[in-house]
Chains A and B, each alone.
Chain A
Amino acid sequence: MTTAAESGAPAYLSVRALGKRFGDFEALRGVSLDMRQGEFVCFLGPSGCGKTTLLRAIAGLDPQTSGTIRQGGVDVSLLPPSRRDFGIVFQSYALFPNLSVAANVGYGLVGGKTGRAAIAARVGDLLTLVGLPDSGAKYPAQLSGGQQQRVALARALAMSPGLLLLDEPLSALDARVRVRLRHEIKALQRTLGVTTIMVTHDQEEALTMADRIVVMNHGVIEQVGAPDEIYRRPATAFVADFVGAMTFLDGRLESDGTARVGDLRLVCADVDGLAAGTAVRVAIRPEDIQVRGVAATAVNRIAVEIADLDFLGAFCRATLKTVSTGPSAGASPPVAIVADFSSNLMRDLDLAVGKPIAIALPADRLRVFAAR
């Protein structure tokens, strides 16, 4: 796993071999990561994967057990949070309920050398920035969840931190507000150019917002990459499964570079350098399955029957079962493949449960992982 900054410029944030133990439990195992200045990175993974632990270690809130963290060329590994340079937004917002919105945003500015008028002006600017110019006098309890989250964001940005940390900032909000705030946070981050880390378990959030995604599992980084890279070329079966939907077919590599799955023989464009005879998992996304115009000679053509259809609004998710026809018919149990059918397709081909159809699995869309 190499994650050194590709740009050649020195990394703004550099995490090296970070480990964290809670008693016998290893929350982080040798995590290394580099971030460029101004980059928006998402830590994505299931709960308990170590993403929040990593964020809190970077903030200094829960110090690492081993490893180093450098920020802006300075080793901050052993500094307490108050001597690091970051602003943070928590899932709970952690707004001070007894202080007005303006007092919350200006909390860190008061007591410094800044004058009263300058603070008021700065608070006004920040509130305008997050789209709440008239809410300064209100108390947090009088605001909606989304508005509270914006106040928390303004407060975190008040000290112009070099690093903005967002710990599942949107997960307490309802779906509509969440989608809107995604765009706003991303736009704000782009405007300010502040280096940002966001922890999330929501893959859609990570895919839409991040410049780069760090997928984590069991305290290790599974893959680091741009959203489309993570989605199209998942490095591991875990990433393939966690990000987006995926059908996995268990099989074995043949000497001619095809994969044998039950009765099927699948041509794969890339077998990841695995040797013949290796037990593998062949993966394909539901939307990559070809249904229209499958020629009789098409590569990876499979005869299937529609076993089940789940109506999901804009499209249907179908479970397809292979139909055995060849000489070895019935030798292996049928293979189940998940495919997404658009409403158009459903209408055009008059698809329904029980209907036999022919599909093709494009060779360049098949991902091959060694089975564990």
Chain B
Amino acid sequence: MAWFGGSRSTAKVAASRDDLIMRAGLLLLIAWLLLAVALPLWTLLSKSFQNRDGAFVGLANYATYFSTPALFHSALNSLHVAAMVTLIVVPLAFVYAYALTRAVLPFRWFFQGVALVPIFAPSLLPGLALIYLFGNQGFFKALLGGGSIYGFEGIVTAQVFYCFPHATMILVTALALADSRLYEAAISLRASPLRIFLTVTLPGVRYGLISAMLVVFTLVLTDFGIAKVIGGNFNVLATDVYKQVIGQQNFEMGAVVGMVLLAPAALAFVVDRIVQRRQVAMLTARAVPLMPRPQAGRDLALLAFCLTIAAGILAVLGMAVWGSLIKYWPYNLSLSWANYAFGNFDANGWNSFANSIELAFGTAIFGTALIFAGAWLMERTRGFALGRAVAQLLAFVPMAVPGLVLGLSYIFFFNAPANPLNFLYGTMAILTLNTIAHFYTTAHLTATTALKQIDPEFEAVSASLKVPVWRTFFRVTVPICLPTLVDIAIYMFVNALTTVSAAIFLYSTDTKLASIAAVNIEDTGAVAAAAAMCVMIVVTAASVKAAHLVADRFVLHRFQAWRRR
């Protein structure tokens, strides 16, 4: 048998029309990602090395930053708060998630649902609720013993509320992956419950724990709403960016602070990716899911814990709702809708809310279509390995970039007079673009996971049947992935409603969003109206999610008859 050398590269097979269409689509996607993510970030980076006139000054801005105690101090404050919140939230979320997955809990669905409530609220909501409870005229002001809720303690408390669902979701996923055979083996070897916990349970969720810590740390570091509302004189990075850019119009220093904010977030993201890759490797297909068995003492203790946490979450939410309905806190506690007449507090009135709804729908529809089609192109384009790799890399960038930094970079990129896309500035289009880019990665990962689960040979089959690939995409791939498409749309919708960070730099008077209006109204001291706006957001987001659950149960399955055996 002759050993056949031959060239190393694969023979250049002529691209079919399908291949050409998909490659063109991939190129368009790359162009979009460059425009919406990479180029703005590049502009931000270069801006941080320039002076006011645009001349290159090397690290001068950074030198100024680190030698100005007021600025540098904010970075330390941010790290301090983030570390503290992480230390509080992750253990709480762990016990809560443990109860949800490993104990026999009555009304489990209720506890699971309550834990998710904060996701539907803009981050400033817990801040406002704390002002009602512990502010200068708060119910429990006396408990603080002369201290003030404005500052470190206030931020930490509000952040605990805001970050709790994110940590809980990650840990529930990690704890749910248990293999009951490991526990049976440990019991049969007569290991004590403590030893089983330390040698089986904890190692099984260690990547989940690390992931939860990183996510919480990043969330706290990059959140703007809470620090703005309840930070008082306690400066953090997120508020510094805002002050430098909006307050002092010092764009160069804003860019530097943005880069300082980006660094830890990006680092956390990279570590998280490495950790998650390992988590996947730990799974075996033959694992037997663990079914919790009743154990009275443990179950009661965990129930008490969950009740406490749930009560805390509902108290914060309830306080915001109640506060928004009260005529004049704390002197006239009778109820009224007066605070919902937003026109009395902000020139835009209810228009902000309408804008938010418009943005949410736009983001959900365009974002879902773009992200799903993009994920499909990345998964299924034949050949063109370089294009796929570039697109994949770009699709991961947004998750590493805090919204505030992305928004800031949009100012630099789109507001530049030389940019032909300059006309987008201040429109709803740029807000939509930015919001899609901001939440791209999570949605992209969801779409990719769904696509990986369907047969990889559909495109090969349709090629052998001479059917154009786009027809198979619309007739087979999209219908199969419909539940995932709806999930992504809901995710985009909810986040578009609640986000503050990126939009704060990009809105104009015509396109002000509800969450921004809440920040502005709170600035004027009208806490009740700000709470009312937040409540509108929570109610809308939660209703959409509830409608999804109901529709999923009673309507969507009609389109999924083929799933039944």
Chain A contacts to B: CB under 8 angstroms: 1, 17, 19-21, 29-30, 59-61, 63-67, 77-84, 86-88, 90, 92-94, 96-99, 107-108, 111, 139-142, 155-156, 158-159, 161, 220-221
Contacts and interface: CB of A to CB of B under 8 A. Distances in A.
A155 B461 CA distance: 9
B565 A90 contact: no
B476 A159 contact: no
B10 A65 contact: yes
Contact of B11 (A59, A77, A155, A158): A77
B38 to A, nearest CB: 29
Given A82-B17, A92-B455, A141-B564, A107 B462 contact: yes
A79 B19 CA distance: 12
B295 interface: no
Contacts of B563: 97, 141
Contacts of B462: 107-108
Mostly helix, strand, loop or mixed at chain B's interface?
A: loop
B65 interface: no
A79 B460 contact: no
A139 B479 CA distance: 14
Tell me whether chain A's interface is mostly helix, strand or loop, or mixed. Answer: loop
A356 to B, nearest CB: 45
B30 to A, nearest CB: 22
A155 B466 CA distance: 12
Given A1-B1, A96-B476, A139 B561 contact: yes
Interface string B1-13: 1111111111111
A90 B2 contact: no
B9 A65 contact: yes
Interface string B210-239: 000000000000000000000000000000
B105 interface: no
B463 A82 contact: yes
Interface in B545-563: 561-563
Contacts of A20: 10
Nearest to A138: B562
B199 interface: no
6 contacts: A82-B17, A82-B18, A87-B464, A96-B458, A108-B464, A159-B466
Contact of B562 (A1, A21, A88, A141): A141
B564 to A, nearest CB: 7
B493 to A, nearest CB: 25
A141 B1 contact: no
B352 to A, nearest CB: 41
A80 B384 CA distance: 14
Shortest beta-carbon contacts, A-B, top 10: A108-B465, A30-B4, A66-B6, A80-B16, A94-B457, A139-B562, A81-B463, A63-B13, A82-B463, A19-B6
Given A94-B457, A96-B472, A220-B1, 11 more contacts: A19-B4, A59-B460, A65-B9, A77-B13, A82-B17, A90-B461, A92-B457, A94-B461, A98-B476, A108-B464, A108-B467
Contact of B1 (A29, A59, A80, A142): A29
A66 to B, nearest CB: 3
A108 B468 CA distance: 10
B14 interface: yes
Nearest to A163: B464
Contacts of A61: 460, 463
Contacts of B564: 139, 141-142
Contacts of A77: 11, 13
Contact of A83 (B8, B16, B467, B471): B16
B465 A159 contact: yes
B19 A94 contact: no
Interface centre among B7, B12, B467 (most CB of A within 10 A): B467
A294 B4 CA distance: 50
Given A82-B16, A98-B480, A88 B460 contact: yes
A28 B449 CA distance: 32
A78 B13 CA distance: 4
A87 B463 CA distance: 10
Nearest to B2: A30
B13 A80 contact: yes
Given A66-B6, A97-B480, A86 B464 contact: yes
Nearest to A156: B464
Contacts of B463: 61, 80-82
Contacts of A66: 4, 6-7, 11
Given A79-B13, A107-B465, A98 B6 contact: no
Nearest to B469: A82
A64 B4 CA distance: 13
A205 B480 CA distance: 34
Contacts of A90: 455, 457, 460-461
Contacts of B15: 80
B479 to A, nearest CB: 5
B10 A94 contact: no
A107 B461 CA distance: 10
B464 A63 contact: no
A141 B7 CA distance: 45
Contact of A64 (B11, B14, B479): B11
Contacts of B467: 107-108, 111
Contacts of B562: 97-99, 139-141
B475 interface: yes
